Amino acid sequence: VSSPPRTSRRDVAQAVNTRHPITKPGVRVARGACRPNIAGMSAAAAVAPPVDLDAVALLLDLDGTLVDIAATPDAVLAPPGLGVTLALLARRLDDALAVVSGRRLEDVDRILAPLRLTAAGEHGAVIRLSGDAEPQCAALPPMPSAWRRVAAEWAALHPGVLLEEKRASFVLHYRQAPVVGPMLHAALTTLLAGDHAHEILAASCAWEVRPRGIDKGMAVHSLMRGAAFRGRRPVFIGDDRTDEDGIAAAEALGGFGLRVADSFGDAAGVRAWLAGLVA
């Protein structure tokens, strides 16, 4: 693969205006349910391996990997310079770069605006194979509307609990009310009793109810079939339990995964490493 012409950071900056355990069947429990990262090295000790940009594709989680965890999902912002770095990397990789997030695709675009990248939203339920392509939505089992109504009632009853609605799922965030986390899990387990089409996924200070079979591993396999990604080795970078499926898929396809805490320390370390790739 030939290298494209190098583009300066100033050139791209002119085009991109950046802004600042109750384990039951069907329940996937994260290590450290209210920790932003999987435990690992300190930032000073973390070392990421070199990568050959002519041979790899980068698949990047968003929250806790590209951007810092915030008190609420809506409070997350892209740090200055991140959009420029990602735009430069996408050009250098001939567009073999994608964001793979549990968020809705609209939220990924809002955080990274005005940049629009190849992306997978809602753990792969929605895939966009290029920045200007129409999103493709997976065929999924319908979620009972009563579940969403009950989740909204729980969020209203417990200060600090936030309901995040998605096309195919919903999330109850309890970062600001950690004491109610076990209660929410028990209530969700009761709510889903007898249903075999959905599962409860533990994330960082959150419980997500989503269709079975939708995960970041599926997203990686779908993205790697895209024209820009074929023939490259996938490198998946993520910070929590929901990213382990993406790492496993990257390894199965001949690539590898990097866990933020082990290889970079934190999201700032990821951003510094990515910027160094196109410095």
**Is 61 in the active site?**
yes
- Three-state secondary structure along the chain? CCCCCCCCHHHHHHHCCCCCCCCCCCEECCCCCCCCCCCCCCCCCCCCCCCCCCCEEEEECCECCCECCCCCHHHCCCCCCHHHHHHHHHHHCCCCEEEECCCCHHHHHHHHCCCCCEEEEHHHCEEECCCCCCCEECCCCCCCHHHHHHHHHHHHHCCCCEEEECCCCEEEECCCCHHHHHHHHHHHHHHCCCCCCEEEEEECCEEEEEECCCCHHHHHHHHCCCCCCCCCEEEEEECCHHHHHHHHHHHHCCCEEEEHHHHCCCHHHHHHHHHHHCC
Amino acid found at 8: S
For residues 27 and 43, what is the distance between their CA atoms, to the nearest angstrom? 31
Q: Which of 52, 54, 61, 262 is catalytic?
A: 61
Catalytic sites, residue numbers: 61
